Amino acid sequence: MHQSGRLMLDELVTKRYPLEGINEAYDALQRGEVARSLIVFE
């Protein structure tokens, strides 16, 4: 569904963090600054 454009997952992601920023991502989640964030492995 996502590939066909019927399921819009990208709009559900608040912010993306690199693996090195995992602590920052966790802190932002605890502060309520993000609802759904991704850790990106590059």
**Prediction pTM value:** 0.71
Most distant CA pair in the chain, distance: 35
Helices (H) and strands (E) in the chain, counts: 1, 2
Read off the pLDDT of residues 1-42 as tens digits, 9 standing for 90 and up.
888 989 888 888 999 999 999 999 999 999 999 989 999 998
Q: pLDDT by residue (tens digit) across 10-21?
A: 888 999 999 999
Tokens of 1: 């569904």
